[in-house]
Structure 1
Amino acid sequence: MGLRPPPSPGPDRTSPAAARRAELADFLRTRRAAVSPSDVGLPAGTGRRRTPGLRREEVAQLSGVGLSWYTWLEQGRDVTPSDQVLSALSRALLLSPSEREHLFLLAGVAAPAAAVSGLDDETAALVDGLLPHAAFVLGPRFDVLAHNRAAALIMGDLVSAPPARRNLLVWLFAGDGWGGAAWEQTARANLLDFRTEYARHPGDPAFLALVSTLSDTSPRFRDWWEQHDVQTMEPAVKHITHRDLGPLHLLAGQSRPTHAPWLRLRILVPADSRTRSAVASALAARSD
């Protein structure tokens, strides 16, 4: 018998691209190990399995992806899978929505917007549970997917619009500068936050249509969009002149739900006693 061939070297991690491929390889191996044959309707077979979870051959069979192609992905080879391949692997490996998005991110491929834009019951319940503070949820296109009563009180004409028009950017850029310097800082920060999301969905018709509409209707949006700036932070304190409640001073925060990282959870908290009293009184009046 001849000598056994030397073991294949591990994935190169000396460059950012190679490091990402290595992370993708690790992620696929661990997800494969976490799925048992019975989880996906396969017979367990006889005898002891050499590896936990599914075999590579079984993942290839379940997903319809070629075995060699899948093996290359687990080896950290310099290949770029299509979104169809990644979607098929997501189904075969029973990935959760957040795991699915992580898979696409590691592969350097934009996830289809429809696959990551839904609102789950847990996030909707979280928004309601944040009362008396205003809270609302944005999808990847900055559409308002959920809001509570306090958000409806503070941002009424945004969240009371028909569902197809509940878009934060459309609301901000309607009228092109209705709020002066405070509006400009908030609008610009949101545009740049959206720009990051836009880059994750190249060629997506829904994103292209939104940018086209805003560019046609708002010269300010068009000028800022063409500048292609990044990393402008939204102010932590917002000053709003409410038509019914007068001047409001609010602390603003944004987070990504851990189980649905494609969503943005926005929270507005009174920054002074006057704002706190005005919002509380208005909520109490509406609940009577």
Structure 2
Amino acid sequence: MPTQPHQHDRRSQLSAFLRSRRERLTPDEVGLPRTGRRRTPGLRREELALLAGISATWYTYLEQGREIRASEQVLNAIAAVLRLDGHERAHLLRLAGHASAAEVEGREPLTTEAVAVPLLLQPHPAYIIGGNYDVLGYNQAADELFPKLITEADRSGNLARWVFLEPVAREVVLDWEPEARGLLARLRTLAARHCDDPRYTRLIEELHEGSPQVRDWWPRYEVQARHSGRKRLRHPHHGAIDYAYTAFHLAEQPEQTLVVYFDSQELPGRA
């Protein structure tokens, strides 16, 4: 029986996130002396609470996922001790119920104008994805570069499903493991904003059932924001290409993202 994903309520995710980050720190890193043999890796809860200036019992309740409300001030103190970066800090605040107004607004459908954008960007591969990596719009170049991404007329293509469950993805994505781990970290980040949304829970369950890598990596609790960068992909006609890709968040719906790929050799400034 495949390992089941963590429950998708915020308290259980908050518990897992705090524990994973606490276990990554050592006493040496935060200036504490080592005392005695440790049964578990990382800082003890009592040590973290001391450094954050809060009650050890209260912190234990928070990490256990009990129904307590943490203020932003306390969460920021914990984030500082855990040495979270800006993105991880924002993730912690969201899990603790401090979401921004933009995150609690209802989703809106993709506009006709937005759907047309990838078509206008031909011959550069371009697609629009939702927060759960459903493909909402794409052009012919993207369909060619990512074979079998869109396979069923009655079901949206999904980039995460393609990367982990479609065998051809490992032939196309030349640095498959780091790319796949980064995608899973970004999916986890977005799923935390939609704990009760079946689009996310069904996708994560499907990935757990079909991918041993997801079952292995998910408990590590890596989080990451969507970003631009470079990616090595194998084009069906031109072979391995170093692509530069840029992600644009749509003004109407920040979780809907336009992604455009360019051959890095064709960018201005390249010899």
Aligned partners of 2:246 and 2:263: how far apart in 1?
A: 12
In structure 2, distance between residues paired with 1:124 and 1:175? 25
Which residue among 193, 205, 217 is the counterpart of 2:210?
217
**Residue identity matched to 1:226:** P
Name the counterpart of 1:267.
260
- The answer on whether the counterparts of 1:135 and 1:150 sit within 8 Å (CA) in structure 2 is yes
Q: Which sits farther off after the overlay, 152-161 or 140-149?
A: 152-161
- What displacement does 1:146 show? 0.2
Aligned to 1:156: 147
Tell me, what secondary structure is at the counterpart of 1:203?
Answer: coil
State whether residues 237 and 252 of structure 1, in contact with CA within 8 Å, keep that contact through their aligned partners in structure 2: yes
**Contact 1:186–1:235 (8 Å) recurs in 2:** no
Partner Cα separation in structure 1 for residue 213 and residue 109 of structure 2: 30
Q: 85, 108, 111: which one pairs with 1:120? A: 111
1:110–1:208 distance in 2 versus 1, CA, 3 Å: farther
CA distance in 2, matches of 1:235, 1:108: 22
Match of 2:28 in 1: none
Match of 1:142 in 2: 133
The letter for the 2-side match of 1:120 is: T
Structure 1 gap ranges (5+): 1-14, 18-103, 274-288
* 2:170 alignment partner in structure 1: 178
Counterparts in 2 of 1:230-249, with a 5 A limit?
230-231=223-224, 236-249=229-242
Contact 1:249 1:271 in 2 (8 A): yes
Does the CA-based 8 Å contact 1:152-1:160 persist in structure 2? no
C-alpha distance after superposition, 1:123-171 (max 9, x if no partner) = 1122222222111011121100100122112113113444525011110
TM-score between the two structures when normalised by the length of structure 2: 0.55
1:102-121 equivalences under 5 Å are 105-106=99-100, 110-111=104-105, 115-116=106-107, 118-121=109-112
Segments of 5+ residues of structure 2 without an aligned counterpart are: 1-70, 74-97, 267-271
The 1:189/1:233 distance shift into structure 2, 3 A limit, reads farther
Aligned CA distance change for structure 1 residues 108 and 258 (closer, same or farther; 3 Å)? closer
Tell me how far 1:242 sits from its aligned partner.
2.8
Matched-pair identity in %: 28
In structure 2, the partner of 1:49 is none
Query: Looking at both structures, which has the greater relative contact order when contacts are Cα pairs under 8 Å and sequence separation is at least 6?
Result: 2
Contact 2:228–2:247 (CA<8 Å) still a contact in 1?
no
Structure 2 letter corresponding to 1:268: Y
Q: Figure out how many residues of one structure are paired with residues of the other and give that number.
A: 171
Deviations 1:193-249 (A, max 9, x none): 111110110122221111111101101012111111123776722111233332222
Q: 1:241 and 1:136 mapped to 2: Cα distance?
A: 17
Task: Write 1 or 2 for the structure with the bigger share of helix.
Answer: 1
Describe the shift of the 1:182–1:122 C-alpha distance in structure 2 as closer, same or farther (beyond 3 A): same
Instruction: Tell me which structure has the larger Cα radius of gyration.
Output: 1
Counterpart residue identity of residue 119, structure 1: L
Q: Tell whether 2:161 aligns with 1:167.
A: no
Instruction: Tell me, in whole angstroms, the C-alpha distance in 2 between the residues paired with 1:229 and 1:212.
Output: 17
Question: Could you state the TM-score of these two structures normalised by the residue count of structure 1?
Answer: 0.52
The AA in structure 1 aligned to 2:135 is: V
| RMSD between aligned residues | 2.9
Conserved? CA contact 2:128–2:256, under 8 Å: yes
